[in-house]
Amino acid sequence: MNDPADMIDAEGLIEAMVEIVGPEWVLYDPEETRAYASDALTAYREIPRVVVLPNGEEEIVAIVNICQQRQIPIVPRGAGTGLSGGARPIREGVVLSLARMNRILALDPEAAIAILEPGVRNLAISEAAFPHGLFYAPDPSSQIACTIGGNVNENAGGVHCLKYGLTLHNVLQVRGILSSGEVFECGGQTPDSPGLDLLPLLIGSEGMLMIVTEVTVRLLPRPTHAKVVMASFDSIETCAHAVAAIISSSLIPAGLEMMDQAATRAVEDYVHAGYDCEAAAILLVESDGSKTEVDEEIAEIKEILLLNGSRSLVVSETEEERQRIWSGRKNAFPAAGRVAPEYYCMDGTVPRRQMAPLLAHIAQLEKHYRLRCMNVFHAGDGNMHPLILFDGKIMGEWARAEAFGNAILEKCIELGGTVTGEHGVGVEKLDSLCLQFTDAEREVFHALKKVFDPLRILNPDKGIPSLRRCVEHGRKRVDAQKRLPTNLEHF
Amino acid sequence: MKLEEKIPRRAEVEDLLARCVQCGFCNATCPTYLATGLELEGPRGRIGLIKSMVEGHAVSEKTQHHLDRCLTCLNCETSCPSGVEYRRIIDIGRAWMKDCIPRGIGSHLPRVMLSKMMAHPIGLGLGFRVGRWFKYLLPSAFRPYLHPPRRLNLALSPATETLRTVLLLQGCVQRHLAPAINQALSDVLVKLGYRVVEIRHADCCGAVGHHLGDSETAKAQAKKTMRALHPYLLDPTLQGDQAPIIVMTSSACGLMLKDFEALYQEDLEMAEDAKRIHQCALDPLELIERHVSAIRHRIDHAGIKGLSLKIHEPCTLQHGLKLKGRLAALFSSLGFEVSQGVAPHLCCGAGGVYSLMNPEMAQSLREEKRRHLGLEGQGDAIALTSNIGCMLHLDSKGEVVHWIEFLQGLFKEGR
């Protein structure tokens, strides 16, 4: 049999890649590239033509130049823990894995910053900062594995972003490679920088604007004390009202998370976090800061929760206990794998007062689509993560799960919310985005994309839906636009 | 090459695979993924490779290579929120590979030799002796295993009242390389009042063959171990609350004993014994933990003042037997200041016979582990561990010892 390289490498692409990074770091045989067919949203799969693992910015520049000359799409990939298919490969394209670039280039405790390669794991930043009494605040549930490059591209949040903000609020500077092969830097170590502020545009751009090669993050002083309250509720509605009560008080908890019974039961089995599995929903409320601050805040939180219908409360007494309580929440998604063969994790946001109506609607949808759904969410900012449980081996279940998910997102928009909270659009939310934005808004997105990547080689089929797609999928409210689309450019 | 349509244990593997939701958390604690950044060198990628085999995709030496490179440290099982039983998946995957992809002589021969040698205690002893003479002609990866045996002379001082019966399996490699370890456990248990029966004719428990994907040899060896234990399992005086406790001083072997049940679940003749062994097997740590207060006042801390005590919990102990943190806890409850160093969850690179098959990866993990444990710094440090493989792999001048040997040395005269 011929070497697979000869069959798929008519253009000498593999040879060129091997020249840049060495044979060990180029994969082209489907036996090996299949491992890169999806990120953690496994329903969308595609085996890429080549996977390349560069080690250093110069190698990335060389790779981008080769792809630019040949108009070959590039899909960047960090740890592959994403949940919207942002790293799903393109069949004719290159997957650019940044996993080898995992060095912490500098950590300056006095300036409280760290300069990182894109493949540094989120948790590794806080581990390195620990001896200096510092930490990196955004803590997505996948923080043990996900990388800072991926966090920047998805604008990752986490359970503590209510108080400390998203990735956007904790990154000072980003350096990357444009599709032209040029190095591009934005942001700076000063609070404000001259010129247009492009940093917020790049953070959350899902690999569509540039390949991130270096990230400078802000580190914060690690709070000396932290405690979490776990409160049980007999109904979802009371729990949602208690959230509203906390938010409308003067408190800003470090974390405010809600889990329904289906979710607590699934994780309790693995983590033994001590969750009240009899409660219809539980709420986790964290306070951090100095000892006095924490004690005062916890007392206040307890009072609000009890006044608002919490039937029992547990406060973490030790750091170990606190970690255990959180680990249940952080492992909630994959723990769904214990109760069903597959799950479809949704990511929508609604105004906080709309949480109870949305949950009631989801309960109805469960019956309609004949699928179970676990609910886990960042209650503090109204970011919901319904986990739809299904078995892909059963004919039609995945289609039902997908329809179920879309119905949830449509409801989110109807209630004044959005179709993504923190997981990004990727390939998953493209259709939902047609509902979220007007033609004019999407045209601005496309125009911006064109400025950064005129050849459309950087993760080209993700993030922004084309007008054609919106029409073809029947998801665009044409009547609302009062005109039929005329210019159907395929993006 | 593709797997046959009717592959053995297909349904079992499909069930095991269904648990994995591919979240990728496991990669974060996988030593080979951390070292390479390659998806295929992490548990999620390896599970994917095995899934591909089930789905009927062609496999080659590439798949074999990635499965070979797994240390079987099982750190992924500890990290996995979905409860994937990786150990069972990789074992079956490796067994399939053996049927699918013939190995070249250079890869095949040492595997067969290692796997079969364990079954022949006399040959094994002779092998070590000859190996020691020709130590410098052999690949350097073999050298840690060819030092003269460590010895310890013990005088037993039996207690008056006898507790339960402990069946101490002698194992294979360890009794040639460090016979003092089994003696030390025996001595401590006798001091604590146990009746210790040394089972000498069992030989290798099968762990080595099992790791190498040679399940036939592994099963034959496991059977021999079960046969040796059989009379005790039947003994009418050793039933109910007098049931024997079965121990091995190496945690890798202890884990293998636990695995007998899964290995023989469909073998009517052996299943019952395998299940009993699974129930009766304990790591020595679990046994000694019960006697902390008795031991505390019988040992002498004076001799080791100023010594920095490091704990290296082998993967088989923390991820396999799920006794994470317990060895460190034992010594701190005995009044010692202990340190597990940075990243105590990571493998040292020994991985059974892994260090002989993949010396480069093993060596880099060893250096990292020694650094993390603080064994490369100034001052006297002793590292305690519970597995002969890790002990010899990590050691440089006798500073890495089995914890039971260390503990035995602390008992005051005559106590």
Question: What are the structural domains, with CATH classification, of chain B?
Answer: 10-100 (1.10.1060.10), 297-410 (3.40.50)
B22 chain-A contacts, CB cut-off 8 A: 38, 40, 42
Cβ-based neighbour number of residue B83 at 10 Å: 14
Nearest to B25 among A99, A144, A267 (CB): A144
| Burial state string for A240-265 with b = 16 or more CB within 10 A and e = fewer than 16 | bbbbeebbeeebebbbbbbbbbbbbb
> What are the CA-CA distances from residue A386 to residues A326, A333, A366, B189, B395 (Å)?
18, 10, 11, 54, 51
Is B21 in contact with A29 (Cβ distance < 8 A)?
no
B45 interfacial to chain A (CB closer than 8 Å)? yes
Digits of tens for pLDDT over chain B (415 positions)? 666 666 778 888 998 998 898 999 999 999 999 999 999 999 999 999 999 999 989 899 999 999 999 999 999 999 998 889 999 999 889 988 888 888 877 777 777 777 777 767 677 777 777 777 777 777 777 777 777 666 544 444 444 446 789 999 988 888 888 889 999 999 999 999 999 999 887 888 888 888 887 888 888 889 999 999 999 998 988 888 889 999 999 999 999 999 898 888 888 888 999 999 999 999 999 999 999 988 988 888 776 666 778 999 999 999 999 999 999 999 999 888 899 998 999 999 999 889 988 999 999 999 999 999 999 876 778 999 999 999 999 998 889 999 999 999 888 776 5
**In whole numbers, what is the pLDDT of chain A averaged over residues?**
89
According to the model, what pLDDT value does residue A1 have?
Answer: 41
Stretch A180-196: mean pLDDT = 87
Nearest-angstrom CA–CA distance, B85 and A412: 38
Helix axis angle, A291-307 to A236-248, nearest 10°: 140
* pLDDT at residue A217 is higher than 50: yes
pLDDT tens digit sequence for A416-464: 999 888 888 888 888 888 888 888 999 999 999 999 999 999 999 888 8
Closest approach of B75 to chain A, Cα-based (Å): 13
B39 chain-A contacts, CB cut-off 8 A: 35-36, 80, 97, 99
Could you give phi then psi for residue A387, rounded to 5 degrees?
A: -110, 110
B394 close to B400: Cβ distance less than 8 angstroms: yes
Report the residue of chain B nearest A267, measured CA to CA: B81
Cβ-based neighbour number of residue B184 at 10 Å: 25
- Is 0.90 exceeded by the ipTM? no
State the residue for tokens 């060596």.
B363
Is A42 in contact with B22 (Cβ distance < 8 A)?
yes
B80 chain-A contacts, CB cut-off 8 A: 334
Nearest to A97 among B37, B59, B63 (CB): B37
According to the model, what pLDDT value does residue A2 have?
Answer: 46
According to the model, what pLDDT value does residue B119 have?
Answer: 65
Nearest-angstrom CA–CA distance, A420 and A409: 8
According to the model, what pLDDT value does residue B145 have?
Answer: 73
Is A338 in contact with B38 (Cβ distance < 8 A)?
no
Residues 6+ apart with CB under 8 A from A193: A187
Stronger pLDDT, A153 or B377, i.e. the higher one: A153
> What are chain A's domains?
4-97 (3.30.43.10), 104-221 (3.30.465.10), 225-333 (3.30.70.3450), 340-414 (3.30.70.2740)
Over pLDDT 70: what percentage of chain B? 92
> What are the CA-CA distances from residue B370 to residues A130, A406, B361, B364 (Å)?
22, 52, 14, 10
**In whole numbers, what is the pLDDT of chain B averaged over residues?**
86
Is B57 in contact with A102 (Cβ distance < 8 A)?
no
Nearest-angstrom CA–CA distance, A35 and B24: 11
Stretch A361-387: mean pLDDT = 92
* pLDDT at residue A226 is higher than 60: yes
* pLDDT at residue A121 is higher than 50: yes
Q: Which tokens in the block code for residue A176?
A: 């990357």
H or E segment and range at residue A116: strand A113-116
B81 chain-A contacts, CB cut-off 8 A: 267, 270-271, 331, 333-335, 337
- In sign, the C-alpha dihedral spanning B19, B24, B28, B33 is positive
B83 interfacial to chain A (CB closer than 8 Å)? yes
B79 chain-A contacts, CB cut-off 8 A: 144
Stretch A139-166: mean pLDDT = 93
Among candidate residues A289, A146, A271, the one with its CA nearest the CA of residue A221: A289
According to the model, what pLDDT value does residue A365 have?
Answer: 95
* pLDDT at residue A483 is higher than 80: no
B364 interfacial to chain A (CB closer than 8 Å)? no
A353 close to B42: Cβ distance less than 8 angstroms: no
- Banded pLDDT at A381 (limits 50, 70, 90): confident
Burial of A136 (0-12, 13-18, 19+ CB in 10 A): buried
DSSP string computed for A128-190: HHGGGTEE-----TTTTT-BHHHHHHHT---TTHHHH--GGGGEEEEEEE-TTS-EEEEE-SS
pLDDT tens digit sequence for A263-287: 999 888 777 888 999 999 999 999 9
Closest approach of A316 to chain B, Cα-based (Å): 22
Among A134-148, A216-230, B60-74, B230-244, the range scoring the smallest mean pLDDT is B230-244
A331 chain-B contacts, CB cut-off 8 A: 81
pLDDT tens digit sequence for B139-189: 777 777 777 666 544 444 444 446 789 999 988 888 888 889 999 999 999
Q: Which residues pair with A183 in a beta bridge?
A: A177
> What are the CA-CA distances from residue A67 to residues A27, B38, B350 (Å)?
16, 22, 42
* pLDDT at residue A408 is higher than 80: yes
B205 close to B222: Cβ distance less than 8 angstroms: yes
B36 chain-A contacts, CB cut-off 8 A: 100
A341 chain-B contacts, CB cut-off 8 A: 18-19
Stretch A353-381: mean pLDDT = 91
Closest approach of B23 to chain A, Cα-based (Å): 5
B360 interfacial to chain A (CB closer than 8 Å)? no
Is B23 in contact with A29 (Cβ distance < 8 A)?
no
Identify from B17, B39, B101 which residue to disrupt to test chain A contact, counting A C-beta atoms within 10 A and taking the largest count: B39
Closest approach of A99 to chain B, Cα-based (Å): 5
A29 chain-B contacts, CB cut-off 8 A: 60, 62
